[in-house]
């Protein structure tokens, strides 16, 4: 979002908490934040030191430090997320602010949660941006004024998908085999995200290679042990790769899987980043049929939606795509067309037009 705002000519500064242990780890492992997130160096990043005496105090300490710093910078707008104390203090200090909401269950835990709706009426809090319609309705039900709650789904950097590789070239560059269908999943390997369900599909689809890109080291290790016990030889865990490399794995695939289960805590509110990258990759998507997913994906239009928590339903969706190439091509092409609506650039433009 910072890169997209900057591309629209907005002088943008990202302010993040400086946690010295994380900072030292980044230096030790030579992590370049720009490469890590595959974004251009067109905005400023400020690491802000703050009091860190326990998590509860740290959250409030950073929020107050960030609010004071932001006010000192005299911005036309502060756009913030995660920590509700930040928009609360900024509004109290008379600084124009917009809060982006992601998870009502977490945000509602803040003691000043309901005070924010009053700040929208009397203070400088100009609005709440939610990442799904479901979350917007939940905020309105909590008493936030409907005319100041806006829906902007997450998005994708279309420039990263501007020059797509052929499947042949993508498999060559990633080292994936060329003689079998590939189902790809990218992202965290949390159980609630349907990893076990997808692995159960692998048990019954031995001629299909299931590729998992991402996941923490311990998650990858645990699932590798699981596959070895089950005798699964058609599963590959790639582990973490640089963000810029992810599109190559998507291009190398025949199907992109999004098997979220109903155990995902944010299933009523989420807007998964992988969904928009899948759309942009111009590959058939098989995803579970959850309300927030249906806000973007439409069955047999730009994806195949299947019953959640069911390996049988997921397997049937995969088999249908593999058995109906005309359907696969049609929904893949539509997916790419729909991705145009969800670019970070369009999202940034909407924020500029609405709040600046």
For 267-277, write each residue's pLDDT tens digit. Answer: 999 999 999 99
In angstroms, the Cα distances linking 126 to 14, 108, 116, 147 are: 19, 19, 10, 10
What is the spatial distance between Cα 276 and Cα 289, in angstroms, rounded to a whole number?
Answer: 16
Domains 2-156+343-355 and 158-341 share a fold: yes
- Alpha-carbon distance of 350 to 356, in angstroms, equals 10
Q: How far apart are CA 277 and CA 342, in angstroms?
A: 10
Q: Residue ranges per domain, the chain?
A: 2-156+343-355, 158-341
The confidence band for 21, taking pLDDT boundaries of 50, 70 and 90, is: low
* pLDDT tens track for 260-296: 999 999 999 999 999 999 999 999 999 999 999 999 9
Mind listing the pLDDT tens digit for each residue in 230-248?
Answer: 999 999 999 999 888 999 9
Domain 158-341: which topology? Rossmann fold (3.40.50)
Regarding beta strands 97-101 and 209-213, do their DSSP bridges make them parallel or antiparallel, or are they unpaired? Answer: unpaired
Assess whether pLDDT exceeds 90 at residue 316: yes
DSSP 180: S
89: pLDDT confidence band, cut at 50, 70 and 90? Answer: very high
Share of the chain above pLDDT 90, in %: 83
The secondary structure of residue 148, as a DSSP letter, is: G
Q: What does the DSSP 8-state code read for residue 343?
A: B
What are residue 235's phi and psi, to 5 degrees? -130, 135
Q: With cut-offs at 50, 70 and 90, classify the pLDDT of residue 171.
A: very high
**What digits encode the pLDDT tens for the residues 188-202?**
999 999 999 999 999
Q: What is the pTM of this model?
A: 0.93
Reported as a single tens digit per residue, the pLDDT across 42-85 is 999 999 987 766 666 778 888 999 999 999 999 999 999 989 99
State the angle between helix axes of 325-339 and 273-280 in degrees (0 to 180), rounded to the nearest 10.
110
Q: In this predicted structure, which of 1-5, 17-21, 102-106, 122-126 has the lowest mean pLDDT?
A: 17-21
335-354 tens-digit pLDDT = 999 999 999 999 999 999 99
- pLDDT score recorded for residue 28: 74
Span 171-178, mean pLDDT?
97
Residues 6+ apart with CB under 8 A from 188: 214, 215, 216, 219
Element (H, E) at 236: strand 235-239
Q: What is the pLDDT of residue 54?
A: 65
Mean pLDDT over 319-324 rounds to 98
Sequence-ordered alpha helix ranges (H) in 42-166: 55-73, 85-92, 104-107, 115-122, 133-141
End-to-end CA distance of the chain: 15
Architecture of the domain made up of 2-156+343-355: 3-Layer(aba) Sandwich (3.40)
Q: Tell me the average pLDDT of the chain.
A: 93
Other beta carbons within 10 angstroms of residue 57's beta carbon come to 12
The predicted structure's pLDDT at residue 118: 87
């Amino acid at each position: 979002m910072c890169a997209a705002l900057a591309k629209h000519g907005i002088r943008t500064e990202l302010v993040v908490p400086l946690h010295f242990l994380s900072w030292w780890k980044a230096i030790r492992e030579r992590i370049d934040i720009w490469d890590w997130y595959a974004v251009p160096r067109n905005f400023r990043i400020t690491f802000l030191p703050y009091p860190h005496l326990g998590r509860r105090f740290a959250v409030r300490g950073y929020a107050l430090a960030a609010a004071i710093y932001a006010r000192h910078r005299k911005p036309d707008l502060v756009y913030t997320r995660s920590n509700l104390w930040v928009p609360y203090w900024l509004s109290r200090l008379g600084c124009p602010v917009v809060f982006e909401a992601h998870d009502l269950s977490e945000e509602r835990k803040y003691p000043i949660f309901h005070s924010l709706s009053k700040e929208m009426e009397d203070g400088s809090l100009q609005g709440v941006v939610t990442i799904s319609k479901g979350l917007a309705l939940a905020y309105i039900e909590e008493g936030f004024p409907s005319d100041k709650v806006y829906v902007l789904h997450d998005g994708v950097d279309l420039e990263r998908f501007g020059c797509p590789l052929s499947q042949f070239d993508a498999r060559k560059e990633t080292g994936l085999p060329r003689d079998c269908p590939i189902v790809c999943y990218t992202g965290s390997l949390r159980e609630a995200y349907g990893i076990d369900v997808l692995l159960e599909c692998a048990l019954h689809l031995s001629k299909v290679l299931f590729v998992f890109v991402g996941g923490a080291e311990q998650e990858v290790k645990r699932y590798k042990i699981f596959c070895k016990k089950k005798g699964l030889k058609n599963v590959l865990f790639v582990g973490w790769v640089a963000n810029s490399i992810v599109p190559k794995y998507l291009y190398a695939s025949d199907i992109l899987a999004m098997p979220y289960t109903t155990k995902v805590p944010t299933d009523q509110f989420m807007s998964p980043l992988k969904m928009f990258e899948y759309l942009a990759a111009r590959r058939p998507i098989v995803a579970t049929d959850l309300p927030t997913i249906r806000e973007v994906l439409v069955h047999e239009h730009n994806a195949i939606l299947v019953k959640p928590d069911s390996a049988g339903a997921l397997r049937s969706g995969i088999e249908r795509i593999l058995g109906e190439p005309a359907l696969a091509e049609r929904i893949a092409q539509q997916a790419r067309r729909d991705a145009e609506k969800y670019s970070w650039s369009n999202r940034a433009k909407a924020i500029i037009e609405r709040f600046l």
